[in-house]
Structure formats: structure tokens, C-alpha cells
Chains A and B, each alone.
Chain A
Amino acid sequence: MEYELRTPLNKDEILKLNVGDAVYVTGEIFTARDEAHARALEWMEEGKELPFSFDRGVVYHCGPLVKRNGEWRVVSAGPTTSARMNPFTPKILEKVECMAIIGKGGMSDEVVNAMKGKAVYLAFTGGAGALAAQSIKRVKGVVWEDLGMPEAVWLLEVERFGPCIVAIDAHGNSLYRR
């Protein structure tokens, strides 16, 4: 099946997705890698409000290549290896109503379990950075720029970002578990 997802997400839409479905994402997504996840968790534990929202949001495991010509422009932005975010993701999932992750390579069994009932993992073709950049319409902003270009959090406006394959669904199924 093919689905269109819009941000902010709602839980019903997440729950109807099954592994193998193709999904296109439209709206606002944000990038986060190791350093951003670590800082986000620190802030959450201290009760500080984040400048972006995991809750009902779409987090993109990506360190984009961007260029500034007056405005920021995304040159190439495929997914990074999601497994590096395994240690942080269950704690983030505890704090959200629903969420989607776009990445590549899959995540641990612990994450698959933590995703049950609330989150999906969408696989975008790794390395397809030039292709991905074509559905990123605008850089809406950047936060935590002190982490450097790859590790900063980039807020991106996307239109029909995909096709992404539902590789882990909210029912405990994973295409990586074979």
C-alpha cells in the first residue's frame, strides 16, 4: 500500500501502517544525529523546552550537506546509519504520543519494542542524497549550529519526501529481523 503522511502526525495514521508499505512525507521534518539526540535528552531531563518537537514529529537521521547563498539550501541529504541512535531512541519514545523516524539500516530490538503502539521507522535509500534533496523545498531554520553542519538540527520543509519503506511498524514487525 502507498500512503501520504503530513506533519504534525496523528496516532491513527501511524497505527495503520504495516511493514512493506510505501510512504511519502509532506510538511516539516527535522534532522538529528548522535550529538543532537544526546543534547535533546539532556534538555528533556532538565525539563528544558526543545526548539523542535519529537512529539507528533518526524525525525530524520541525517547530516545534510547544506550551502548558504543568503539563504541555506540543501545540496545533498540522504539518511545516516540509524543504529547509532539506538541508545537514545527508547527514552525519547517514552515521552511522545506518536512519532516517525526516517533513516537507514534499521534499529535495535529494544527500539522496535519501544516503538510499539506509537511509532514507525521509514527507510529511505541510503546514499541517495541528491535525490532526497529534490523533495526538500526549504530550510526553515537551524538550531544547535555549534555542533557543526552534520550534527546540527536542520528544520526542513519537505514535499512528498519518498518513497520511504515502512521497515519497522508500530506493531513490532521489522523487515530487518530475518
Chain B
Amino acid sequence: MEYNDVVEAVVSALRKAHTELPDDVVKAIRKAYDSEDNEIARRNLEAILKNIDAAKKLGAPMCQDTGIPVFFVSVGRELCLDFDLKGAIVEGVRKATAEIPLRPNAVHPITRENSGDNTGMDAPQINVDLVEGDEIRMVVMPKGAGSENVSALKMMLPTEVNKIKEFVVETVKKAGGKPCPPVFVGVGIGGTFDGAAKLAKKALLKNVLEMNEFELELLEAVNELRIGPMGLGGKNTALAVLVEIGHCHTASLPVAVNIQCWANRRAEVVLR
């Protein structure tokens, strides 16, 4: 494995993420379309499905908000990497921005100056985990701002476990039509202040068709809001609620809710 293999893998993963939604996500959207009887909701879901087809056919990014690329990189501990892995990922993002193309979204937070290539200070975001084995597993999730902007984190009291549901529902309610519903809701429970947020984002990587009892209960509560596709009313406010948990301090209960738009884009590459 060399530097250039990683660069090319990043470009191909980003291309796939932007032009083809994962099967489980498309299935969830189709299911929503079939279940909806509100005409405006159906029109919006129909446009979403047409858009998914158009993006795939044209090889064009399905959404103009190509997001900030977030990487989850699992590095096998048997590997000996004789090159700059982080540098290769950054270069891959730069190359993908020019080639696919992607919209340059990364700006300096204060001056708002656009770097022009989606890279910069702490951008792209790269999360590294050490795992067993001799391969690199890289998942990229381009995260748009419409849904990221309405996400929330709360340091709840340890005695408020029974209020987690209320916080999740409240967050989706406040978001209304802004995050391009029907949304996917990632919930991180436990860990630390930053850890809960990371768990919430990682939850969005899970198969959206495989929810446990607690996740289904949250989904039902969220869909009672009837915000509907694009906030114009309907049964489908969220298509899935996905939860990740982690041990936390006995005195705290961090809970993070990371909202994701219907375009739950992600792609995985494995390098050996």
C-alpha cells in the first residue's frame, strides 16, 4: 500500500458517496414514498427518488451541498505505514474536489475565506481507530450543513435517563423543515461532551433498516411530529433513529443528536 493508493481510494469513495446512495437508504426512502398519502409529501419524495436516479445516471453529486468530508479510518495494527496517511487523505479530498467536482465548502470560521478545495485547519475531519488485522478500512461521510446546523448536544443529569426521548423529539421538532426531512437521526448516549457527539455521528453509519426496540420507539415518537418531507407535512419526518452508546462518568449523561438529511451519503473502501 502506497500514498497514491490512499489518494485514489479517497477519490473513488467520495465519488461513490456523492453519486450513489447506499441500498438500505434508498430502500428506506422508497418505503416512505409508498407509505405516504399526503400529495405534497409524495411529490417531494418522488423528486428525491428521481434525483437519486439522475445523480447515478449523470455521475453528478446528488446534492450541491457536498458537505464537509468526515472520515472514519480503521487502521489494522499489523500494518507498517511508510508514508503520510493523513496527507494522502487530504490530497484525495483536494483531488476529488477538482475531479468529481465537489463544491468547495471549507471556510475560515472567522474571516469566512474559502480555501477553495475543501481542506484547511482540521479539515477534512479524520477519525482514526486502531483495530486488529492488516488492512485499512475507510468510511467517508460527506456531511451537509443544513442538517448539521440543527443538531444538538445536552449534558443531561444522570437521573434524566427517562428524558432522553423527550430531548431527541424536541431536537427534531426545533429543526422542522430545515434539515431536508425525512431525516436520519443519529443519537449518541454516554461518553464525554465530545464523545457523545462522535457516537451520534457514528450511529449514522449503521444500516438504517436494522433498528432495535428502543430505536423504533424513538422513531415512532419523532414521526408523531408530522413535520413530513421538507417540513410540508406527512407521516415521514424521520426514516430511522440510530443509537450508539458508550460508558460515561457516574455524574454525567451526555446525549448528542446528530441530524442527517435524507441524503445519508456514505461509502466504504478497504485497502490491503
Contacts and interface: CB of A to CB of B under 8 A. Distances in A.
B48 A127 contact: yes
B17 interface: no
B64 A76 contact: yes
Interface in A138-178: 148-151, 163, 165, 167, 175-176, 178
A77 interface: yes
A133 B60 contact: yes
Contact of B61 (A75, A126, A175): A75
Closest 8 CB pairs of A and B: A148-B114, A126-B180, A125-B47, A128-B51, A131-B51, A129-B64, A76-B64, A130-B55
24 contacts: A63-B103, A65-B102, A67-B101, A76-B103, A78-B63, A78-B65, A81-B149, A83-B178, A104-B177, A104-B230, A105-B179, A106-B176, A106-B231, A126-B180, A126-B261, A128-B62, A130-B58, A131-B50, A133-B60, A148-B107, A149-B114, A150-B104, A163-B47, A175-B232
Given A22-B43, A127-B62, A149-B103, 8 more contacts: A75-B60, A104-B180, A105-B146, A105-B176, A106-B178, A123-B232, A130-B60, A165-B43
Interface string B150-187: 00000000000000000000000000111110000000
A7 interface: no
Contacts of B104: 148-150
Interface in A27-71: 35, 62-65, 67
How many residues of B sit at the interface, in one of the four size bands? Answer: 35 or more
B249 interface: no
Given A77-B64, A81-B149, A125 B103 contact: no
Interface of A: 20, 22, 35, 62-65, 67, 75-78, 80-81, 83, 104-106, 123, 125-134, 148-151, 163, 165, 167, 175-176, 178
